[in-house]
């Protein structure tokens, strides 16, 4: 995350600079991670690509979390037919494998970073909705909620002031793990040519360049893949750490 913020100062070269005299150079003192088929510095492209991948991860998960919070809180708070309708919508969305659903929608749209963020976000809110619904079903019978209702608090105040803050702990864990999943999805889409389009660097389309030259330029595939691996692993470990911190049962 810090590297992506400091990309203009950390990247040794312009990620789009083409140097045909430095095509497919292996890692050396000038180009630490080598160059690609157009002579562009791989390290600079990985650093700038982190901005794209992390942007997709955070925005997509933010959108998914927002939609999930809305759907889950309404279902858990009102129950009855509202709960039935919204949960059947969740079940319907879960019937479709998420990655193939994303592929189908992206194939119909113009590949762009905004379309990718929107599609990943709008197909990834179901887990958050279920978590929030379960928390609300438990919270709505708690004494402080019953007391606030008896004092005349409106439904909106009950949801936003009393219940939602107490339901956010598992959502934080889900969102952290979701960032890792969104980064993987974006990388896979870009690798398939349906994600971020060149010349904008992303880890997925850097891997695509390495696919065609893997026998003679191993660094084109190894280093972007390593960046994806380390980033996804770090967010998974962060999510597990948050889960252990907020759940006393896991501390033992």
**CATH code of 113's domain:** 1.10.3720.10
Domain assignment present for residue 16? The answer is no
Each of the 252 residues of the chain gets a pLDDT tens digit; together they read 677 777 788 888 888 888 888 888 899 988 889 889 888 999 999 999 888 888 999 999 999 999 999 999 999 999 889 999 999 999 998 888 888 888 888 878 877 888 889 989 988 899 999 999 999 998 888 888 889 888 888 889 988 888 888 888 889 888 998 999 999 988 888 888 888 888 888 888 888 888 878 888 889 989 999 999 999 999 889 888 888 787 655 555
Report d(CA 84, CA 96) in Å as an integer: 19
Domain assignment present for residue 53? The answer is yes
Domain assignment present for residue 15? The answer is no
Domain assignment present for residue 23? The answer is no
- Please give the torsion angle defined by the CA atoms of residues 173, 162, 131 and 122, in that order, rounded to the nearest 10 degrees: -80
Question: In which domain, by residue range, is 172 found?
Answer: 40-247
Domain assignment present for residue 8? The answer is no
Prediction pTM value: 0.87
Domain assignment present for residue 20? The answer is no
Domain assignment present for residue 130? The answer is yes
Domain assignment present for residue 34? The answer is no
Report d(CA 178, CA 95) in Å as an integer: 19
Number of domains in the chain: 1
E strand or H helix at 188, and its extent?
helix 168-191
């Amino acid at each position: 995350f810090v590297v992506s913020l400091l990309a203009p100062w950390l990247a040794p070269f312009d990620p789009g600079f083409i140097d045909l005299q430095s095509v497919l150079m292996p890692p050396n003192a000038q180009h630490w991670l080598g160059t690609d088929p157009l002579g562009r510095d791989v390290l600079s492209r990985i650093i700038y690509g982190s901005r794209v991948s992390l942007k997709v991860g955070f925005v997509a998960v933010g959108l998914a979390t927002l939609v999930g919070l809305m759907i889950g809180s309404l279902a858990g708070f009102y129950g009855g037919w509202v709960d039935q309708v919204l949960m059947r919508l969740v079940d319907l969305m879960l019937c479709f494998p998420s990655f193939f659903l994303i592929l189908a929608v992206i194939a119909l749209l113009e590949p762009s970073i905004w379309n990718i963020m929107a599609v990943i976000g709008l197909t990834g809110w179901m887990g958050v909705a279920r978590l929030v619904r379960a928390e609300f079903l438990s919270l709505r019978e708690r004494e402080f909620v019953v007391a606030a209702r008896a004092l005349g608090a409106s439904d909106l105040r009950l949801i936003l002031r009393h219940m939602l803050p107490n339901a956010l702990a598992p959502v934080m864990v889900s969102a952290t793990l979701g960032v890792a999943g969104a980064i993987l999805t974006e990388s896979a889409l870009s690798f398939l040519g349906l994600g971020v389009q060149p010349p904008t660097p992303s880890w997925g389309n850097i891997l695509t360049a390495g696919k065609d030259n893997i026998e003679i330029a191993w660094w084109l595939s190894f280093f972007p893949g390593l960046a994806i691996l380390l980033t996804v692993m770090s967010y998974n470990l962060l999510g597990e750490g948050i889960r252990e911190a907020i759940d006393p049962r896991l501390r033992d």
